[in-house]
Chain A
Amino acid sequence: MSAPVGSAPLPHRSVANIRSPPGAGHHHQSGSSTPLRPLPSSFGSPSSLRADEEIIIIEFGTRKLQVGFSGDPAPRGCVWFGPEQQRRAGDFRAWQTDYRQDWRAAAAGGLWGKDHELWQYDVRGSDLGLVGDKIERALREAFTKYLLIDSRPRRMVWVVPSSLPIPLLSAVLDSIFSRFQPPTISLLSSPLALAVGAGVRSALVVDLGWLETVVTSVYEYREIVTKRSIRGGRTLVEQTHKLLAKHLPQGQSEPSHSQDHVVSFEECSDITARMVWCKPRTASDTSRISNDGLATVQEQDEGESQAHTEHRRDGSVRIPLRSWLAPTTLELPFEALAEPCEDAFFDSQYSPASFDDHELPLHLLVYRTLLQLPVDVRAFCMSRIIFTGGCSNVLGLRGRIFDEVSHLVRERGWDPVQGKAVEQLRTNPKSRRRVPRQVASQGDESGSEEEDGIWHDAANTIPKVDTIDEQLRRGADEIPPVQGEMRAIESLGAWSGASLVTHLKASAVATIDRELWLQHGAAGASRAIDVDYRTQRQSLGAGGLIRGSVGHHTNWTLGIWGAL
């Protein structure tokens, strides 16, 4: 969209630079403002100047890879990682009729489902070369099958989870740089791309992923706080397996096989994707009695469709199972299919205190992330909640999390302190009288992070006329940004966000040059702070510029992925 500000001019830019030298804008302006960008509209059409250059955007997930060209609304192809992919070329056993009968052998040794994953974040003892190989093969498949491109080197933009460990990133970069020879690879973090894909500058991204659920708050295109929980898709599938195992006839399954899995991963994940749903939040405080909420839903249904009534009456679902000892059809009550979700994500039968930091139930995770944020950031983030990830496909889960969090907020407010003592303090009329005074005095003294304190601060600052604020207010459009209310918005997805970013020619903080990578590897990356990314600091808005690719890469960084 725009040309570099006084950077080394690319050949095709030179005309623009002649017309308006970088300093030209300063003549008529107060010196402090950004220099005028020359003729951005002349680069508005992506096709005119760089028609031949397609940038490939790749989103890496634990279970799949999405690939497409920048400027497309959706990825062209999606490749799932699986055991078939890890076989030798020319191994066609997947087409044999009795294939997968011996899934138990394949799943032996705690590998149930592991071969469907690209990586584990715990890199101890993992074969990094294997990760590189898997990626390479998946990419090759994607390129030949979906993108239909030849093997000329192309620039790449990767959408990578921001918590990806450096060894993994390094292994993948190694593999791709040596096999596909892209001149540069830019890294975008997926929460950021999601925010762009939703059209917002700040967001709370709830990524219900496979390995873990990550809640990231993005404020003004920067990641502020990230919290994680191991409750993800894998947990859900395991809980589904538990449910199936529970409902299978016990006598045959348990004693004969000492193995811990009775149904194959493929089948189990299939059932999870098809049938598992999530109950809505029960209105009453008596935690897990769901009859109430469901009764109302049933009534509503009767009005709508008569055809489904008999199904609903018996309330059971028949699920065919093939990978069990003998193919069978399992009959489960429909309600039971909500249990895995309940156990995997909420575990509401336990008290919040019983969870470890890495296994917080999702609603607590979201709530605590919000709680940890500064007040103004929280105000923005809570009204821009984006749900994404594979498990956001579980029917009702997004709504449930949202309701649970809203409930928590209503119940507790934004008070990080809770417990019996606090309750007592609140309910006790004697102590209540004392509370306001305490808070007020605290707020005056320290202006701490406590909610009330900030509120007072804000009150104090209002009278002061802040020129910058004033200008900002004028710059902002008529509609004030929504803040302070709980609201969920929809994002196009990280891939599409990255496609937008790249299409708009905003540069990534972490852009890795092939030559430099092959020389130094990850060790050559400097910390993000040490790199002069003046252009990036102005964020997408003002500084969405292409960096002149000449002298800039001498000092490069992996951005938020860190440095060795």
Chain B
Amino acid sequence: MAVLTPYTFIQCPCSDSSTLGRPSDPNSSTITEADEDERTFDPRAPRSNFSLYPLEYLLYCEDCHQIRCPRCVSEEIVTYYCPNCLFEVPSSNLKSEGNRCTRSCFQCPICIGPLAVTSIETRPDPSLLAAPDNTAAPHSGPYALTCSYCNWSSTEIGIQFEKPNSIHAQLAKLRNGGSTRLTAKERKERRKDPAYRRYQATSSGEGESDQTENLDLETQFANLKAFYQNQLADPNSADTGLAALGDLGFSSPTSLSRIMSIYTGGSLQDRKAKSRLGAMREALKPDEGLQFAHLDESAAIETLRGEGHDGTASITQLVDQPPNLGEEHLHGRSRFISELRPIPYLLRTKRSKRCPVCRHIISKPEAKVQTTRFRIRLVAGSYIPSIAIRPLSLSATAGGGGSSASGATLPGALLEPLKPAHFLLTFKNPIFETIKVTLGAPAETPGRFASKVTVLCPVFEVDANTDVWDEALREGGATGGAGSGGGGEKGERRRGRYDEGSQANNGNQLEVGKIWERGRNWVSIVVEVVPASLRLDQGDAPLREDEDVLEIPLFVHVEWEGEAGGDDVLESVAAKDKGGEAREKRELAYWCVLGLGRIRK
């Protein structure tokens, strides 16, 4: 069993169903909505997994004074880049070339390690003896992609490259096994080529050979598209023979042709009527995108029989494969390892994030790919108090219990069912104001196994996050008025804490309503839990994954007085020194989940 370190997750207020546009399904939600307010948040409900985030994932909008989670920010893309070669990709390329790196960045299809281009050593032939020749041209001849992690090489799927650069373009022309294929562009050009057209005309005259042509997906799509476009365009342009001119837009030849058709009538109109009435026929030839299915798969089955389990690719390997447009519909034949292809790296983006309400930017990375810095990043960690959890051992009061105490305080130790355990929650205030924290927790955790929870001190204040040096200077100076007094007080408190550390059983009694410890900008309080017993009765559903973890939903309500219109943190500090003329009361409330530990089964 994995050791569980205590954790905190915060539920972004955006996932409250009431704030989401329309109250969802009318018949189902009326009941739940009625007691929306009294409802305690159940961290174990499957839905809550989607709204809980660690503090590090959350951002904060300074203007709306609200937490923003990845679900409730609107994103803008700063840069597209390849994570392998770190080259920036212009957004226009993205549309035309797809979402993968088109240079020479590939992932191994077996182990997703990065592939390197290496030249294939020529077989031991006479040239090996003629060493000088070899050194003269060390990187010649065919190249292959090789994985340095699992030693896979593209020669295994019969693919070699002539040049060591622009592998992507070369790969697009190669089928597995080494045979070449035409890319879409080439095919378009080929179609324009009059010689090819003539060839086409003769071959279609032969008839049946054309019917069995295997189209790869890309070609089939292109053919179908052309076919449909042709069919849809038919009534107006096909009869005049001016289709090409019509493409130019609102050019006069088309209108001319229309006028012509109005006055000529006769045969022309007839043809028009014909094409319009025939609506749209279906595709009849491979040229038009029709493709017959090859249902005889005995060859593939025989290969499967021969290759066995090892010759097939796992599901994860197949999922990683990009859609292979260069092949016909594989229908399961892509299962073999020999059908896998190197995976071009997916491009990535750098994104700036805005608050969806006030449109202020709350996170903006540097545009340059190589830098990891941010221009703006308002992380929630610097606005809302962080909660650290630590097991607290009180059993040290019993003289010989030293060992057991240490055992209990060991992080990740199992909690004994039905035996009270204590945890220290340390709230650390990141902002420069004193905050008032109010906690609410259900007396019993929701779920099948209800553990009892008591927050011994649910209301307390945490001092402001003043500058450490500020404080130190004030302490050292020991002059001045109220500020130094406060600092001194804090210093004493801290010293007190160290004392406690040295003599753990300093008569530190658990008192309801009392803060356990307090520091410059932090406060520790105690939570007592009585873990439920996980015994299952006969006929109960077995224990589900993570159901033995003791999780406490905790409603945190934070209040502070902030600068009225101030949108800068530094300003607010200055204002505090001034005495704060325009103060405004602010509050923030959210659910969070404290994972305390596993209960012994």
The docked-state distance in angstroms from the alpha carbon of A504 to that of B229 is 7
The docked-state distance in angstroms from the alpha carbon of A106 to that of B544 is 6
Interface residues on A, range: 35 or more
Q: Give a binary string over A277-297; 1 marks a CB under 8 Å from any B CB, 0 the rest.
A: 100100000000000000001
Which residue in chain B gives the minimum CB-CB distance to A275?
Answer: B309
Are B273 and A517 neighbours in the complex by a CB distance under 8 Å? no
In the complex where A1-B233, A78-B319, A312-B306 touch, is A129 in contact with B17 (Cβ < 8 A)?
A: yes
Chain A residues 192 to 208 lying within 8 A of chain B, measured CB to CB, are: 197-202
Are A36 and B236 neighbours in the complex by a CB distance under 8 Å? yes
Which among A106, A178, A385 is the interface contact of B21 at CB below 8 angstroms? A178
The docked-state distance in angstroms from the alpha carbon of A133 to that of B233 is 42
Chain B residues 570 to 587 lying within 8 A of chain A, measured CB to CB, are: none
B227 within 8 A of A: yes
The docked-state distance in angstroms from the alpha carbon of A540 to that of B228 is 10
The docked-state distance in angstroms from the alpha carbon of A188 to that of B212 is 31
A29 within 8 A of B: yes
B57 within 8 A of A: yes
Are B28 and A144 neighbours in the complex by a CB distance under 8 Å? no
Cβ of A273: which chain B residues have Cβ within 8 Å of it?
315, 318, 335
Are A41 and B246 neighbours in the complex by a CB distance under 8 Å? yes
Total number of B residues with any Cβ neighbor in A under 8 Å? 115
Which residue in chain B gives the minimum CB-CB distance to A43?
Answer: B249
Are B332 and A394 neighbours in the complex by a CB distance under 8 Å? yes
Chain A residues 327 to 352 lying within 8 A of chain B, measured CB to CB, are: 334
Whole-angstrom distance from the CB of B529 to the nearest CB of chain A? 21
A421 within 8 A of B: no
A28 within 8 A of B: yes
In the complex where A73-B222, A274-B313 touch, is A490 in contact with B292 (Cβ < 8 A)?
A: yes
Which among A27, A108, A472, A540 is the interface contact of B543 at CB below 8 angstroms? A108
B250 within 8 A of A: yes
Which among B221, B228, B262 is the interface contact of A496 at CB below 8 angstroms? B221
Which residue in chain A gives the minimum CB-CB distance to B69?
Answer: A89
Are A471 and B274 neighbours in the complex by a CB distance under 8 Å? yes
The docked-state distance in angstroms from the alpha carbon of A535 to that of B278 is 17
Cβ of A129: which chain B residues have Cβ within 8 Å of it?
17, 24, 47
Which among A90, A320, A387, A490 is the interface contact of B291 at CB below 8 angstroms? A490
A527 within 8 A of B: no
Cβ of A78: which chain B residues have Cβ within 8 Å of it?
319, 323
Which among A132, A489, A492, A523 is the interface contact of B221 at CB below 8 angstroms? A492
Which residue in chain B gives the minimum CB-CB distance to A131?
Answer: B47
The docked-state distance in angstroms from the alpha carbon of A481 to that of B274 is 17
Are B323 and A75 neighbours in the complex by a CB distance under 8 Å? yes
Are A147 and B99 neighbours in the complex by a CB distance under 8 Å? yes
The docked-state distance in angstroms from the alpha carbon of A540 to that of B234 is 13
Chain B residues 222 to 246 lying within 8 A of chain A, measured CB to CB, are: 222, 224-225, 227-229, 231-233, 235-237, 243, 246
Cβ of A460: which chain B residues have Cβ within 8 Å of it?
none
A402 within 8 A of B: yes
Whole-angstrom distance from the CB of A536 to the nearest CB of chain B? 13
Are A199 and B331 neighbours in the complex by a CB distance under 8 Å? no
Cβ of B295: which chain A residues have Cβ within 8 Å of it?
398-399, 402-403, 488
In the complex where A87-B49, A201-B280, A301-B302 touch, is A318 in contact with B232 (Cβ < 8 A)?
A: no
Whole-angstrom distance from the CB of A265 to the nearest CB of chain B? 11
Whole-angstrom distance from the CB of A167 to the nearest CB of chain B? 7
Identify which of A14-22, A358-366, A549-557 touches chain B.
Answer: A14-22
B217 within 8 A of A: yes
Cβ of B492: which chain A residues have Cβ within 8 Å of it?
none
Cβ of B282: which chain A residues have Cβ within 8 Å of it?
199-202, 481
Are B24 and A74 neighbours in the complex by a CB distance under 8 Å? no
Are A76 and B99 neighbours in the complex by a CB distance under 8 Å? yes
Chain A residues 129 to 161 lying within 8 A of chain B, measured CB to CB, are: 129-130, 132-134, 136-137, 140, 144-152
Cβ of B237: which chain A residues have Cβ within 8 Å of it?
40-41
Are A89 and B346 neighbours in the complex by a CB distance under 8 Å? no
Whole-angstrom distance from the CB of A145 to the nearest CB of chain B? 7
Are A34 and B276 neighbours in the complex by a CB distance under 8 Å? yes
Chain A residues 453 to 473 lying within 8 A of chain B, measured CB to CB, are: 471-472
A177 within 8 A of B: yes
A396 within 8 A of B: yes
A417 within 8 A of B: no
The docked-state distance in angstroms from the alpha carbon of A319 to that of B496 is 64
Cβ of A199: which chain B residues have Cβ within 8 Å of it?
224, 227, 282-283, 288-291
A423 within 8 A of B: no
Q: Give a binary string over A105-132; 1 marks a CB under 8 Å from any B CB, 0 the rest.
A: 1101101000000000000000111101
B53 within 8 A of A: yes
The docked-state distance in angstroms from the alpha carbon of A144 to that of B347 is 10
Cβ of B323: which chain A residues have Cβ within 8 Å of it?
74-75, 78
Whole-angstrom distance from the CB of B354 to the nearest CB of chain A? 9
In the complex where A89-B53, A492-B221 touch, is A308 in contact with B247 (Cβ < 8 A)?
A: no
Which residue in chain B gives the minimum CB-CB distance to A133?
Answer: B50
Are B293 and A398 neighbours in the complex by a CB distance under 8 Å? yes
The docked-state distance in angstroms from the alpha carbon of A133 to that of B46 is 10
B56 within 8 A of A: yes
B98 within 8 A of A: yes
Cβ of B331: which chain A residues have Cβ within 8 Å of it?
387, 392-393, 398
Whole-angstrom distance from the CB of A520 to the nearest CB of chain B? 9
Are A40 and B28 neighbours in the complex by a CB distance under 8 Å? no
Are A40 and B77 neighbours in the complex by a CB distance under 8 Å? no
> Which 5 pairs between the two chains have the least Cβ-Cβ distance?
A475-B278, A199-B283, A541-B280, A308-B306, A541-B279
Extra contacts besides A311-B306, A396-B297, A481-B281 (6): CB < 8 Å? A2-B232, A73-B222, A90-B54, A130-B47, A150-B351, A518-B21
Return 30 A-B CB contacts under 8 Å, by A number: A20-B258, A29-B269, A41-B237, A41-B243, A41-B246, A74-B221, A76-B98, A87-B49, A98-B2, A130-B46, A133-B47, A171-B25, A199-B289, A277-B301, A297-B298, A297-B301, A308-B302, A311-B308, A315-B305, A317-B309, A395-B332, A395-B335, A396-B300, A398-B295, A476-B278, A477-B284, A481-B282, A499-B221, A503-B225, A544-B232
